[in-house]
Structure formats: structure tokens, C-alpha cells
A and B are shown apart, each in its own frame.
Chain A
Amino acid sequence: MADQPIIRLQEIHKIYVLGLTQVHALRGVTLTIGRGEYVAIMGPSGSGKSTLMNIIGCLDVPTRGRYLLNGQDVSRLSDDALARIRNKEIGFVFQTFNLLPRATALHNVELPLIYNGLPGGKRKEKARLALEKVGLGDRMHHKPNELSGGQRQRVAIARALVNDPSIILADEPTGNLDSKTGEEIMEIFDHLHAQGNTIILVTHEDFIARHAHKIIHLRDGKIENIEAMTQSVEEKA
């Protein structure tokens, strides 16, 4: 599958200091994810899955341990260096969509490219392509409040895709959607995976996690077990 792993986490610890108490959110997570993998991270609340997602997404840095993203150590980078990594390497899809309310779908998708400094013409072209990929070619000039929940999440997926990131990181992507729409969204992820994208899902719902090929179960800040889901690969094949 992959010659070099995209993500290599070594003994990751994360400790939050809340006043006088310390919260040990991650207690030594070691994990490797290869290129083109489709992984779900599961666990009850308080298991540290959000913290792990934040670290994988370069929104946060570990207290201890090393994180190699594409072979580059990103565990000690500055705020701005992390911002650049997020821009190039990571596409986020959030439970609450997190779109700019006053911007059109197209502009929302363009956003990562703007900070990337891509000139206007190319930018619009790439954003349009990404929207077409998620089936929203005809809704480009609508604002989020003119779109349904499923459509909003598609815009968010297009935004995650637009910069050709190494990882698409989805945090409860169907949490705010009804099950039918949720299933449609999951089909998009499946499709993106089939095209060779690396996808990491964070969820607490089993039937969502079943879409992935590998489920990482977290408990109390540690990996409890890794479950391989071979049958879904066969389904696709």
C-alpha cells in the first residue's frame, strides 16, 4: 500500500493543566497510518479521541513524544509552521460544518487556497472542481444558510479536498445529520478513499466506523485494540 507511512506517532502524551489539576488526556499513543488507509478512531467520551485528532490535525502539539507527518517531525513546530502544515497537508471536516456564514459555497472552498496564496483564476478553478466532485456544482453561489445540512457538509468536504491534502480528517462528520443524509456523506468518503485519499474518521458510532478498514479503539488515553475490517475492502473490490 504505502512505502512510507503518512503518520507515525511515537509515545504521544498530552497533559492539560486546568488550574491546579492535570488532565492526562493521552498516555503514550503509538500508531502508524499508511498512505491510502481508511481509519476510524473510536472511543467513549473522555477517551482522548478529540485530543488525538487535534494532534494528528496539527491543531495542537503533544506534551511528550514524536509525531512524524510524511517523515517530518511536526511535534515541536511553532504556531505559524503548524498553520502552514494544516493548510497543505490536512483537510478538516467537522461535525458542525464550520463554514463561514457570510461567504458563498465557492468562497468557503477557496479559503485554504487564499491563505496558500494561489492566484484568483486558478483558485476559482480548483474550488469549482472540488465542489463538482461532491456533487454541488449547481450550488456554488449559495450561502450556507441556503443549503441543507448534507449540502453544507459537502461544502466542508470540498474545502477539505481542495488543497490535495495528505490526510482528510473528519470529526463526527455525520453527527449533525439524519441517518439517510449521513449515509450519503459516508458514501462520499468511501468514494474519496477509492480514489486514493487517506481518511481518518473520529466517531463514536459503530455503523459509521464500519466504513473504515481499520478501527482504533481508544480508552483512557491509550489504544485498547486495533480492529481490521477486511470485509469492506472485499465489498469494494
Chain B
Amino acid sequence: MVFWSRTREYLRFAWDALLANKIRAFLTTLGILIGVAAIIFILTLIQGINQYVEGEFANLGSTTVYVSKFPWVITGNYFELRNRPPVTIREYQALVRYATYPRWMTPVFESMRAIEYRNQSLEGVYVVGCNEQYTETHNIETELGRWFTATEVRSARPVCIIGQSVKEELFGKENPLGKRIKINGFPYKIIGVLEKKGSFFGFNMDNQAIIPYTAFRGYTFHRRSITIALKVKDPADLEPMKDEVRGILRRVRKLSPRENDNFAINQQDMLTDFYRKLTGTSFLVVIIIATISLVVGGIGIMNIMLVSVTERTREIGIRKAVGATRKQIMFHFITESLAISLVGGFLGVVLGILAAQVPLKYMHLETGVSPVTVFIGFFFAAAVGLLSGLYPAYKAARLNPIDALRYE
């Protein structure tokens, strides 16, 4: 009761100050507002992206590795990487012959091609040439029809499986199974339609067509590097498989022990690691910016609090004359600076969350507000308010009541 009675007086004191100087209080708190908004913005953004990215990476599968010319995360000399020989179908054939760990394995030929159906044409479709095990290595299944068989791959049958977008664009409500389309001018029969995949980092995964790699025109003299996907059944086999694959490829490429690998064995955790580093770095940068802004904001608050102490000198004298102790005077001013900074903190949290919704919406990501984020925003604001209010409050508390009462 006693506590509350005084607290109300402290709040009233702060409220009076804010009301009397609305514009000044707002300008003062702008630094806090911007600092907190920056923190909240980036936290909300990172959180939204995190949820999304973790889902996307799960798609890649943790038991699959991808052999290709370039590593997914490029560090070091790009020109050196460019001079590597391409990964070709011969390396795939060597792996088929020698590798024992992979349970499923497929070459992946990729290109962007036009698809035609009757008089309609669809440009820029992602066409994949692979074998029947692609469904396992890439966790992708058909919704309609069937996958092609090993026999169809071996005999290079011109069959294809199309994605949902291709189906909708070319066939609408019509059943596409058994229809013939032209990919890059060559006819293929549709035997299946993929389940809906959505997008992967903004790339529409439904705008694709999958054909047996043997039916991928010119695959034998395909000059662009391909990818070989290999998958183990037991996660414990993953590391042995990587060692084995590396050994086979080095042998095939006749690399001497002193030479470095001239191919890359990619896997999901490379991306997750890289992503963590990336967000870690951007997080650090934002924390630094926010800290600077909060320090500047804190200095601003301290400055205006010193003005407030001077303005209210006589009032301090009155309060001391009627019996306010030093501690009570300090509480008055600390409450005032806390009030200023928390107003900024509140506006900063709101602004930060709202601002983060824009890019998240744009990227079609889940938007949300986490209580932890809100807490962090208020925590920083309160800490700055407290720290920057201490010195002015101390100064006020130490005023001599006689001088303070005489102050004009």
C-alpha cells in the first residue's frame, strides 16, 4: 500500500513531464525508438526466415550428398573452381560400378527449356534428366500416374513427369496423362504429375518436367557439368559414403595424392552452416548499429533529463522541504527517464514488428510476433532509460533544498 502510494506519485511526476513536453519527449526517445525498432525488425525477420529455411533444408534430406563441380558455398578462388573439369556421366558410371554405400543414386541433368502442347508454349521450364531413383534421392513423388521405371531409363523411353504449374498452364482441368508434349521440340508422353512442391528460395518447384536422363537429348555429349545425387539408408553410412565417393572420384580423375579435389561433395549441413554464419553476421551488424543508436539515444535522454532537473529545481526544493528524501527524489527522475525510454521502446517494438512484416510477406513467409522479441525490445529500452536517468536523478537528489527553493 505504502509502496503503491509513492509509486503513483512517481508515475504522476513522469506523466506530468511527458505531457508538458510531448514533442521534446518524442524527439528524445527517437534514438531509443530507432535502436529498438532495428533490433526487433531483424529478430522478427531472422525468425521468419529461420522457420522457412529450416523447412527448405529439410527438403534436401540429411542423408543425401550431391557431387558437383562447384561447392554450394564458395570460399577461395572462384577462377580455380571454374577451371575444374565438369562432372560428367562417366563419373556417375564409375560410381555405379564401384560405390557400395549409396542405396540410391542418380545423375541430374538440368536445363531450362520450352514445353509445347498443341499450339500452346511454356517458356523457361526447369527440365531434369535423371533415373528412376530420383524420387528417393530428392524426396519427390507423383500425385497422378506413375514414376518411370529402370527399364524405361535403360531404353531411353521418351516419357515425362510434369509439375503442377506445367499441368495447370497447359492442361487446366484436363487430364494430362497419356498426352504428348514437346520438350525442346522433341515429343514426350506424360506418365505422371508431381505432387505440389511450392517454392524453394523463391524458385517455383512446380514449374518443372522430369525425364529419363537417357532421353535428355545429347546427354552423352552434354558439356555442362551435371550433379550426381547419392543417398544412404542409414545415416551412419553417410560419412563412409562420402569417403568412398571421394576415393572413387579421385581415382577416376587420376589425381595424385598432392593434388586437391577438383570436385565438390555437397550436403545439407553446408547450407545450414553457411546460413547460420550469414544470419550470425547480419545479426552482429544489427546489434552493433542498434547499440550505437541506443547509446546515442541514451545520451539524448540523459541530456534532456538534465534539462528537466534544472527546469524542476524549484519543484525539487518544494518536495524536499515537505520531506522527500534523496532516494525519493531519485525515483521521481528515474521514473521519468524510464517513461521516456519505454515510450520509445514500445513504439520501436511496434514499428520493428510492422516493418518486418513487409519483407516477410513479400517472401511469402510466415509472419508472427514472438513474446521473447517483445521482451528484448522492452528490456533494452528499460536498460537505457535506467542508465541514462541515473546521473540526472542523482544530481537532483543532491540539490540543496534552500538553493532549490530560491531558484527562479
Binding site for B on A (CB under 8 A): 54, 57, 59-60, 79-80, 83-84, 86-88, 92, 94, 98-100, 102, 111-112, 114-120, 123, 159, 163
State A89–B341 Cα separation when bound (angstroms). Answer: 38
Across the interface, A98 reaches (CB within 8 A) one of B5, B6, B405, namely B405
Chain B nearest CB, measured from A128 CB (Å): 16
Indicate if B62 sits at the interface (CB-CB under 8 A). no
Closest to A169 in B: B321
Indicate if B314 sits at the interface (CB-CB under 8 A). yes
Query: Would you give the 0/1 interface string for B312-344, flagging 1 where the beta carbon is closer than 8 Å to chain A?
Result: 001101111111111110000000000000000
Given A60-B402, A80-B327, A102-B16: A118 and B322 interface contact (C-beta under 8 Å): no
Contact size class for B? 20 to 34
Q: Known contacts A79-B326, A115-B319; can you find 9 more A-B pairs with CB under 8 A?
A: A59-B402, A83-B326, A84-B323, A87-B323, A92-B321, A115-B324, A119-B1, A119-B5, A120-B1
Query: Would you give the 0/1 interface string for B5-43, flagging 1 where the beta carbon is closer than 8 Å to chain A?
Result: 110110000001000100000000000000000000000
Closest to B315 in A: A100
Q: Which residues of B contact A118 (CB under 8 A)?
A: 2, 5
Indicate if B300 sits at the interface (CB-CB under 8 A). no
The DSSP consensus for interface residues of chain A is helix
The 7 closest A-B pairs by CB, nearest first: A87-B323, A117-B2, A112-B322, A80-B325, A119-B1, A115-B323, A83-B325
Q: Which residues of A contact B8 (CB under 8 A)?
A: 120
Chain B nearest CB, measured from A69 CB (Å): 14
Given A114-B6, A115-B328, A119-B2: A88 and B322 interface contact (C-beta under 8 Å): no
The DSSP consensus for interface residues of chain B is helix
State A54–B317 Cα separation when bound (angstroms). Answer: 13
Across the interface, A111 reaches (CB within 8 A) one of B319, B326, B401, B405, namely B319
Across the interface, B322 reaches (CB within 8 A) one of A79, A123, A159, namely A159
Closest to B17 in A: A102
Across the interface, B323 reaches (CB within 8 A) one of A94, A98, A102, A112, namely A112
Given A54-B402, A98-B317, A100-B318: A88 and B5 interface contact (C-beta under 8 Å): no
Given A83-B320, A102-B16: A115 and B6 interface contact (C-beta under 8 Å): yes
Q: Do A117 and B6 have beta carbons less than 8 Å apart?
A: yes
Q: Which residues of B contact A123 (CB under 8 A)?
A: 5
State A108–B5 Cα separation when bound (angstroms). Answer: 15
Q: Which residues of A contact B9 (CB under 8 A)?
A: 114
Closest to A88 in B: B323
Q: Do B322 and A92 have beta carbons less than 8 Å apart?
A: yes
State A59–B324 Cα separation when bound (angstroms). Answer: 12
State A86–B325 Cα separation when bound (angstroms). Answer: 10
State A114–B317 Cα separation when bound (angstroms). Answer: 16
Q: Do A59 and B401 have beta carbons less than 8 Å apart?
A: yes
Q: Which residues of A contact B326 (CB under 8 A)?
A: 79-80, 83
Q: Which residues of B contact A120 (CB under 8 A)?
A: 1, 4-5, 8
Q: Which residues of B contact A116 (CB under 8 A)?
A: 323
Q: Which residues of A contact B314 (CB under 8 A)?
A: 98
Q: Do A87 and B401 have beta carbons less than 8 Å apart?
A: no
Chain A nearest CB, measured from B200 CB (Å): 62
State A79–B320 Cα separation when bound (angstroms). Answer: 10
State A195–B16 Cα separation when bound (angstroms). Answer: 37
Closest to A123 in B: B5
11 A-B Cβ contacts within 8 A?
A: A80-B325, A87-B323, A88-B323, A98-B318, A102-B16, A102-B20, A114-B5, A115-B6, A115-B319, A118-B5, A159-B322
Chain B nearest CB, measured from A84 CB (Å): 6
State A99–B321 Cα separation when bound (angstroms). Answer: 11
State A42–B320 Cα separation when bound (angstroms). Answer: 26
Closest to B397 in A: A79
Q: Do A87 and B322 have beta carbons less than 8 Å apart?
A: yes
